[in-house]
Amino acid sequence: MPDHVDVLIVGAGLSGIGAAVHLQTSSPDRTYEVLEARDAVGGTWDLFRYPGIRSDSDMYTLGYSFKPWLSSQGIADGPSILAYVRETAEEHGVMERIRFRTKVVAAAWSTADGRWTVTTEDTTTGEQSTRTCLFLFLCAGYYRYDEGYTPEFPGVDEFGGTLVHPQHWPEDLDWSGKRVVVIGSGATAVTLVPAMADDAAHVTMLQRTPTYIAPAPSVDRIASALYGRLPDPVVSSVVRWKNVLRSSGYYQLSRRRPELLKKLVAKEQSRHLPEGFDMAHLTPPYDPWDQRFCLVPDGDLFRVLKDGSADIVTGRIETFTSAGIRLEDGRELEADVVVTATGLQLLAIGGVQLVVDDEPVVLSETVGWKGMMFSGVPNLAVSVGYTNASWTLKCDLICSFVTRLLNRMRDEDLDVVVPVWGEAQLPDVPFLDLTSGYVQRSIGDFPRQGQRAPWRVHQNYVKDLALFRWGRVFEGLELRRLPRGARADVRVEELVG
């Protein structure tokens, strides 16, 4: 593979594979390479192997716009999603462009040369090397792959059972006939509880704070009715837009009439729960979508609560004991296996250290441009999805816009684009608008956002579709051309590469 390309894509997960396909389809004149720190394609869907892992949004919107999800199974399991990502990479010839076990540790921009010099590390040998590119596209998500988040629990060393974090699930873990406690109430916890309950003696979901949880059908009835009767592209488009508008409608309702949505959710929950169930376990102290909403396909979590194979306990941990966990109110939970589904650790831009003209970039002192570029940082974009809808919806828009931007740069004979924040004072609006603990722990390391476009992240697909597809490409960007000599050098190196 060449040591210089036009576009360097970092990450071979759902976002990175999508970026590669968009690039080679819409900007075929650009050379590119994909760098992946692990030894496989798939990112999140290859890393996480815990029982029951599945999408927490429908596959018609989590799937790529250029490769519609053609199954009526709207909520897919992890292995199916991984197969989908790998199939996409193979169909489009992306596999040949991926350099595995290559971790990006730093990237330095030179205005004089108009390029990035990227330092990588071989994750097998530790050897470092460099390569250059004209445009750097970071598609590695925003959490740490090597380490999940586990609070410091008192007495954990005294625990006589097995302690597991879902991000590093042991292949040989056996919970058959054992008492299991799953700490947490997010998407991972509500997935694990029903997946483990059938074989365990009993599973307890121990939560400090309840989460909004609602049942959803795993099979899309409209998709099931239309596939085979209408052309696949027509069906996929209809179902995709139906789900986009439905999720957007629920989100808008949560912002404008949160009390009404709370009542609707509680009513739907009560249809699936045992009589006399304490609804306090499912009543969060915050409004819907202040934190992510959890969907449970076919109400599987409620099923195991109803049949008694699982329960929910709300309380704070005082200490671990040799036999399990003691809560602050004195209750004791006996456990053979404890799963700490306590969340992720955020890591802005994959931990890559950025330098622009010998000056280190402090991300918290930058402002996000369209949620994909940073003020003062040239020729760099990140692919970050929605927090209130399918991740890929936003990533698809960003990837498509990057190709649009690159094509306009070519047409206008431009070499450098850089967002320029024109106001003296930095805004104080956070880059991510969730109150979830995993966000609040690290949000200070992320860029900020302004009050209006293009410096504002809408978290609204319809608005973003208009902004990314039909909005002004260069709004808020400073445009530059390299001196003729520097530009000639770049082109010569491209030809040699």
The pLDDT tens digits of the residues spanning 50-69 come to 999 998 888 999 999 999 99
**What pLDDT, on a 0 to 100 scale, did the predictor assign at position 491?**
37
Amino acid identity, residue 71? S
> 197: helix, coil or strand?
helix
Fold of the domain built from segment(s) 156-220+274-340: FAD/NAD(P)-binding domain (3.50.50)
Quick one: how far is CA 478 from the chain centroid? 29
How does pLDDT run across 354-374, given as a tens digit for each residue? 999 999 999 989 999 998 999
CATH 3.50.50.60 residue ranges of the chain are 4-146+345-496, 156-220+274-340
Neighbours of 396 (CB within 10 A): 25
> Which pTM does this prediction carry?
0.91
Tens of pLDDT, residue by residue over 10-52, are 999 999 999 999 999 999 999 999 999 999 999 999 999 999 9
C-alpha–C-alpha distance, residues 436 and 462, integer Å: 25
- pLDDT score, position 495: 25
Asked if residue 413 has pLDDT above 60, the reply is yes
* Predicted local distance difference test score (pLDDT) of residue 38: 94
Q: How far is CA 142 from CA 99, 341, 349, 401, in A?
A: 21, 18, 6, 20
Per DSSP bridges, beta strands 310-314 and 380-382 are unpaired
Query: Residue 387 pLDDT > 80, yes or no?
Result: no
Q: Which of 163, 168, 165, 174 is nearest to 201 (CA)?
A: 174
Residue 57's nearest CA partner among 437, 391, 301, 398 is: 391
Question: Would you state the pLDDT for residue 351?
Answer: 87
Residue with the larger pLDDT of the pair 165 and 432: 165
176: exposed, middle or buried (Cβ count in 10 Å: 0-12, 13-18, 19+): exposed
Q: How many CB atoms lie within 10 A of CB 230?
A: 12
Per CATH, the number for 4-146+345-496 is 3.50.50.60
The average confidence (pLDDT) of the chain is: 90
- Is the per-residue pLDDT at 492 higher than 70? no
How many other C-beta atoms are found inside a 10 Å radius of the C-beta of residue 12?
31
pLDDT band at 151 (very low <50, low <70, confident <90, very high): confident
Task: Give residue-wise pLDDT tens across range 282-293.
Answer: 999 989 888 788
What CA–CA distance (Å, rounded) separates 382 from 166?
26
Joined together, the tokens standing for residue 238 give 């209809």
